[in-house]
């Protein structure tokens, strides 16, 4: 037996229209959210936060976080944009890599899983590319040719940390 408080009387057009509109609005909201907002979890220690909101359709800017697909990790990685076209990448005599005057850190020769790493060459970031990095000293980022400078077209929108 149906609970009469949960049923819609189809004989009354106003109730039917209200119920249909309510369902339609809820459906559109779910579709909008599923296409415009995602929840990401980073299981690495390369970032101070592990939980993120991902807005795939919002273009990230300088110092924002973004996501990209990485063949190295065979999945999505989250990094911060710290260099854009026209910025200078250089290395000092101690092996520290800089973007303009921002010290990114040393480039390692071998990854934590034993793969050889190649430090990025000194250069000006070309039009349409960005330099991505993380705070962690062992982070796999644009300090290495294996990731390198990332085309803007590869950025998967804005990623916002949920805590610090």
CA distance 78 to 92: 27
CB atoms < 10 A from the CB of 104, how many? 22
Tens digit of pLDDT for each residue in 44-102?
777 778 899 999 999 999 999 999 998 887 888 999 999 999 999 999 999 899 999 99
Judged against a pLDDT cut of 80, whether residue 145 lies above it is answered with yes
Tens digit of pLDDT for each residue in 98-143?
999 999 999 999 988 898 999 999 999 999 999 999 988 888 899 9
CA distance 70 to 73: 5
Judged against a pLDDT cut of 60, whether residue 28 lies above it is answered with no
SS3 of 40-108: the string is EECCCCCCCCCEEEEECCCCCCCCCEEEEEECCCCEEEEEEEEEECCCEEEECCCCEEEECCEEEEECC
How would residue 16 be classed by pLDDT, with cut points 50, 70 and 90? low
- Residue 5 CA: distances (Å) to CA of 13, 20, 101: 17, 17, 67
DSSP single-letter state for residue 162: S
């Amino acid at each position: 037996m149906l609970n009469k408080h949960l049923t819609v009387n189809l004989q009354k057009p106003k109730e039917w229209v209200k119920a249909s509109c309510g369902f339609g609005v809820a459906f559109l909201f779910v579709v909008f959210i599923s296409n415009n907002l995602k929840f990401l979890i980073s299981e690495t220690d390369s970032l101070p936060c592990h939980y993120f909101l991902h807005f795939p359709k919002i273009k990230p800017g300088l110092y924002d976080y973004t996501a990209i697909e990485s063949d190295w990790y065979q999945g999505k990685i989250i990094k911060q944009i710290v260099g854009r076209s026209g910025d200078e990448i250089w290395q000092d005599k101690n092996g520290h890599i800089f973007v303009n005057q921002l010290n990114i850190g040393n480039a390692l020769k071998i990854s934590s899983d034993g793969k050889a790493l190649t430090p990025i060459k000194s250069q000006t970031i070309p039009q349409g590319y960005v330099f991505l990095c993380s705070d962690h000293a062992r982070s796999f980022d644009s300090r290495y040719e294996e990731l390198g400078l990332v085309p803007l077209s590869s950025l998967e929108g804005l990623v916002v940390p949920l805590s610090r």
